[in-house]
Amino acid sequence: MSRGVAAFVSYTWSHAIDVGLTSYNPWDFRIDRASTANDQRQRLVLSGVFEPDAWTRSRAHWLLARWRFSTITTVASGQHGSAFLGGASGVNGGRPPGLGRNTVELPGTVSNDLRASRRFRLSEDHSLELLAEGFNVFNRANYFDVNRTLYDLRGGNLVPNPTFLGPRTSSQLYPARQFQIALRYRY
């Protein structure tokens, strides 16, 4: 921490590959080689802490003393999954022709959390800390379960599904915006 400010950045790029749980050709697993279902290519985490004590040398110092403000923002690309062919579970493992296993990137996620806290020293070894926290403060809907039926098979025809990659009901990964207030006693 320098002059009451600390900032952290973390970026991860990864690619996880496997051959799946079931193989369509047990003699050649390379056919089923693809991204895993939990393959998440990119993840960025930004966080910071601000303590105004180092910045306030005025009459307002008593108001801002011992406050700490912090934030954490996470931005992640979607995991991978397979598209399906509605009404054709036995054909190509239920996948549309020409699409391999886990070739569809599902929706990504973004979340921002904030915290404000102030410590009140009671004695050398005892203190109270007031905390106010907000989770998913911008109220972004992040879904972990989406409709992966790309086409429906009807009478031998492939009919595009208009709700492909649309969210399923009650499948939010992070709940709607939430706030909480707490009091912590340290000894």
The per-residue pLDDT of the chain, averaged, comes to 86
pLDDT at 38: 86
Q: Name the one residue in this structure whose structure tokens are 């972990």.
A: 144
DSSP string, 115-158: EEEEEEE-SSS-EEEEEEEEESTT----BS-B--EEEEEETTEE
More confident residue, 95 or 25: 95
Task: State pLDDT tens for residues 122-139.
Answer: 999 999 999 999 999 999
pLDDT at 110: 93
Count Cβ atoms below 10 Å from residue 152 Cβ, excluding itself: 15
Is pLDDT above 80 for 65? no
Q: Which amino acid is at 163?
A: T
Using alpha carbons only, what angle is made at residue 144 by residues 71 and 29, rounded to the nearest 5 degrees? Answer: 120
Tell the burial category of 20 from Cβ atoms under 10 Å away from its Cβ (0-12, 13-18, 19+): middle
CA dist 35 and 11 (Å) reads: 20
CA dist 83 and 149 (Å) reads: 6
pLDDT band of 170, cuts 50, 70, 90: low
Task: State pLDDT tens for residues 34-44.
Answer: 899 889 999 99
Count Cβ atoms below 10 Å from residue 81 Cβ, excluding itself: 20
pLDDT, average across residues 81-94? 75
Is pLDDT above 70 for 91? no
Give the C-alpha distances (Å, rounded to integers) separating 132 from 16, 44, 116.
38, 25, 5
